Chains A and B, each alone.
Chain A
């Protein structure tokens, strides 16, 4: 079922990438990259339990300024942690080193002073505050909070869909890490890493009920379940921390793949032993939408946006583009009129292939209306769009479908500049 659908989607096609920069400028990245598929879980490997200890240590400062637990744990962690690429002070100009030394001295005094002001309310809120998350329900559900930062807001003053999807990714990784299952940092468990196996996302479905605003706090719950015989499903439920109301629900399907051969794999018994106990016996949080995602072509699309290229900041440690970026690119070709009048409430994605720094992408969108018009008239009806993100050379990256509803708070939309005395 799912796995078999995924099978056909996943065999990478090595395409000749045109490493294009416009107008004949000097080509910077000449290596052509053979495309390979990877999963959303394969994210930066700041590895290991040692790091985990360190972070927890940070989260528990003592109110009176005594930092007994803090320092020692951090130090142990430092010794244990594998060295990430860092620069050492002895490589810096001397003044910088002196400045740091002087600052450290003042800091010790300052820290005493500022910590006194900060009275933690409850220990679990502290852990949440630093975004570490915690296990719920006998360890089967992992929960983490995020406060929406100012730069995560989109054009209409609410958190963008990319921000929400980023939170899902962070929670998933922290779930794996806190369960002690972080192998080589790709979201692969130790037994998977031994066998060069990775999880790869094939499908994602999202339903948004309301978008949070700047400074809202969202609470994200995540859990895993089996998907067929050899797949895994990961679901999320995002709520507004203050009101408890649902912000978003999401469900995703993953398959196991050998990262060298790129072939799909069954779940080995050893891996099943590691993760089986984490599988929850629950149906998907969103009813699966069985409708096929159609393939768009240039002539069937209503809008096309070409020349999309990854920036350095879009890449993860393997220099592959973070999956969440695809969503931004998909929406690049959605017409501005829809973005201004409607908000995204549903999304279904099929991941086919991934891309790297040298890829040049094209985003296609076709618009169709939903079946019934709402009582408010045809303008108030929902909309549906079909999407395709592909390389300009043709290879498909993601197929998608989005659903939109008219924005509710129309009053907020036309807020312009300064209220006082402005034109």
Chain B
């Protein structure tokens, strides 16, 4: 039984230093996880059980698969990726009448969780392999990269496909492709990088061969990339923005709803915080095309967060220092971001965003 993909939810970022309360991966749903175990097929091809929609499923699967049927998600026939469709609800739509990037990120998280569950991973809600659990290891997100070409509107149905692969010696990667179900058009892509960490020592760990074997069976055999093109944005390094930042929003407060049950701030909340310091004139005239975030440290209950933003200069352009004069050749505006703990100034994450002009 292989577990890779750990839900994106409270993927605590990597902590380089001091011990903090445990970075818990994704775990919220132990009760549901128990259901999941019984749902997994005995023959190990858990894909069969997960396809609750297939006629002839066992009665037990049928009863437990109600939510699955209604949620319309299942492993693709070869069992190496998972697809699910979602309808965009009215409260998930923002100021542009289209789904917010937080909604998209939430859906990516949801489908990641459901994938993990459908292959029988989340026995404890953490999507860890048995070996990992034995050794006290968990997955944490190190990078998240989302590109959205067309935001869905209220009532649109989005189909998301996700799969995972190993990434180098210490990590795994989870990729997503988003399509508009009606037309099949690709409306977005995303990729994320995960590393393994010992939850007690907070030290990063190489993915051992044992763990690798446990999950490889569920990965595509040949490399499959959401971003196959060379020199794509998901690989670009993100520099630390220079002091002083052009725009800032200081003293942001985590809300109760931002925390999962292990008292860790949900990854999607960080996206919201990063965008908080974006200037109104960009928000009013542009929509977010790309966001890349590197997670370094996480935020606790009593922390306050500072969000800093500056335009990113590209080599083609002159700048007089204001973002409005910054024009990429395709009319994209680029910004660098920095989130830090207000008290200590320690980095929480850094990011880059690209914005395209709205056509109204």
Beyond A29-B280, A149-B106, A412-B31, whether A332 also contacts B360 by CB under 8 A is: no
Is A74 an interface position by the 8 A CB rule?
yes
Across the interface, A131 reaches (CB within 8 A) one of B77, B87, B138, B250, namely: B87
Residue B9 contacts which of A113, A150, A242 (CB distance < 8 angstroms)?
A150
Residue of A nearest to B332 (CB): A93
Contact of A419 among B54, B96, B124 (CB under 8 A): B124
Contacts known (A332-B255, A418-B133); A217 close to B249, Cβ less than 8 A? no
Q: What are the nearest 8 A-B pairs in CB distance?
A: A22-B251, A215-B67, A107-B184, A46-B154, A46-B153, A44-B93, A131-B87, A151-B106
Return the contact of B29 from the options A107, A119, A150, A241 (Cβ within 8 A): A150
A99 touches B67 (CB 8 A): no
Residue numbers in B under 8 Å from A245 (CB-CB): none
Q: Which residue of B lies closest to A107 (CB)?
A: B184
Is residue A153 contacting chain B, with contact meaning CB distance below 8 A?
Answer: yes
Q: Are B77 and A113 in contact (CB under 8 A)?
A: yes
Task: Select B184's contact among A111, A155, A216, beta carbons within 8 Å.
Answer: A111
Could you say which residues of chain A place their CB within 8 Å of the CB of B85?
130
A322 and B29 form a contact (CB under 8 A): no
Q: How far is the CA of A422 from the CA of B266 in the complex (A)?
A: 22
Judge if A370 is at the interface, Cβ distance under 8 Å.
no
Task: Find out whether the CB atom of A313 lies under 8 angstroms from the CB atom of B67.
Answer: no
With most chain B CB atoms within 10 A of its CB, the pick from A85, A86, A331 is A86
Tell which of B94, B138, B266 touches A315, judged by Cβ atoms closer than 8 Å.
Answer: B94
A234 to B194 CA separation, bound complex (whole angstroms): 46
A130 to B69, CA, bound (A): 11
Q: How many residues of B are counted as interface, with CB atoms below 8 angstroms from the partner's CB atoms? A: 108
The residue in chain B whose Cβ has the minimal distance to the Cβ of A324 is B91
Name A residues whose Cβ lies closer than 8 Å to a Cβ of B.
21-23, 25-26, 28-29, 31, 43-46, 51-52, 54-55, 57-59, 70, 74, 84-89, 91-93, 95-96, 99-100, 103-104, 107-108, 111, 113-114, 117-119, 121, 125, 128-132, 145, 147, 149-151, 153-157, 160, 162, 166, 169-170, 173-174, 213-217, 241-242, 307-309, 311-313, 315-317, 319, 322, 324, 328-329, 331-332, 339, 412, 415-423
A331 vs B358: C-alpha distance when bound (angstroms): 36
Q: How far is the CA of A170 from the CA of B93 in the complex (A)?
A: 11
Interface contact B150-A242, CB-CB below 8 Å: no
- B70 touching A422 by the CB < 8 A rule? no
Separation in Å of the A239 CB from the closest CB of chain B?
A: 14
Q: CB-nearest residue of chain A relative to B67?
A: A215
Contact between chains at B67 and A216 (CB < 8 Å): yes
Cross-chain contact of B67 among A100, A132, A217 (Cβ < 8 A): A217
How close is B51's CB to chain A, nearest CB, in angstroms? 6
Interface presence of B181 (CB below 8 A): yes
Closest to A108 in B: B184
B339 interface contact, C-beta 8 A: no
Binds A, one of B162-170, B203-211, B270-278: B270-278
Taking a contact as CB atoms under 8 Å apart, the answer to whether A131 and B149 are in contact is: no
Q: Does any Cβ of A come within 8 Å of B89's Cβ?
A: yes
- List of A residues within 8 angstroms of B181 by Cβ: 58
CB within 8 Å for A322 and B32 given contacts A104-B185, A129-B69, A418-B126: no
The listed residue with most B CB atoms (<10 A of its CB), out of A147, A328, A423, is A147
Contact A125 B69, beta carbon cutoff 8 Å = yes
With A46-B155, A131-B89 as known contacts, state yes or no: A420 contacts B133, CB within 8 Å. yes
CB contacts (< 8 Å) of B53 on chain A: these are 117-119
CB-CB under 8 A for A155 and B155, given A57-B182, A92-B330, A103-B186: no
**CB < 8 Å neighbour of B250 from A21, A214, A418, A420:** A21
Give the residues in chain B near A417, CB-CB below 8 Å. Answer: 22, 24, 27, 126, 199, 262
User: Which residues from B are CB-within-8-Å of A419?
Assistant: 124
Residue among A23, A86, A162, A216 making CB contact with B251, cutoff 8 Å: A23
B256 within 8 A of A: yes
A-binding segment of B97-105, B215-223, B235-243, B345-353: B97-105
With A113-B77, A153-B28 as known contacts, state yes or no: A21 contacts B251, CB within 8 Å. yes
Is B297 positioned at the interface, with any CB of A under 8 Å from its CB?
no
Residue from B97, B133, B277 whose CB has the most chain A CB atoms within 10 Å: B97
Cβ of B214 within 8 Å of any chain A Cβ, yes or no, is no
A317:B31 contact, CB within 8 angstroms: no
> Are A43 and B90 within 8 A (Cβ)?
yes
Q: Is the CB of B66 within 8 A of A85?
A: no
Other-chain residue from A85, A153, A421 in contact with B360 (beta carbon distance below 8 A) = A85
What are the residues of chain B within 8 A of A132 when measuring CB–CB? 87
A96 and B77 CA atoms in complex are apart in Å by 27
B330 neighbours in A (Cβ, 8 Å): 91-93
Is B322 interfacial (CB-CB < 8 Å)? Answer: no
B-side contacts of A241, CB under 8 Å: 66, 70
A151 to B103 Cα, complex, angstroms: 10
B17 contacts A by Cβ under 8 Å: no
A95 vs B100: C-alpha distance in the bound complex, in angstroms? 25
Contact between A43 and B359, CB atoms less than 8 A apart: no
Report the minimum CB–CB distance from B131 to chain A (whole Å).
Answer: 11
With CB as the reference atom, state the residue of chain B lying closest to A174.
Answer: B90
Does B90 contact A87, Cβ atoms closer than 8 Å?
no
Residues of A within 8 A of B77 (CB): 113-114, 117
Residue of A128, A157, A418 touching B70 (CB-CB under 8 A): A128
Could you tell me if A421 and B256 are in contact, using CB atoms closer than 8 angstroms? no
| B225-257 near A? 1/0 per residue, CB < 8 Å | 000010000000000000000111111110111
Count chain B CB atoms within 10 A of each CB in A46, A417, A422 and give the residue with the most: A417
CA distance A92 to B262 in the complex (A): 41
Q: B331 contacts A91, CB within 8 Å?
A: yes
User: Nearest Cβ distance between residue A415 and chain B, in whole angstroms?
Assistant: 6
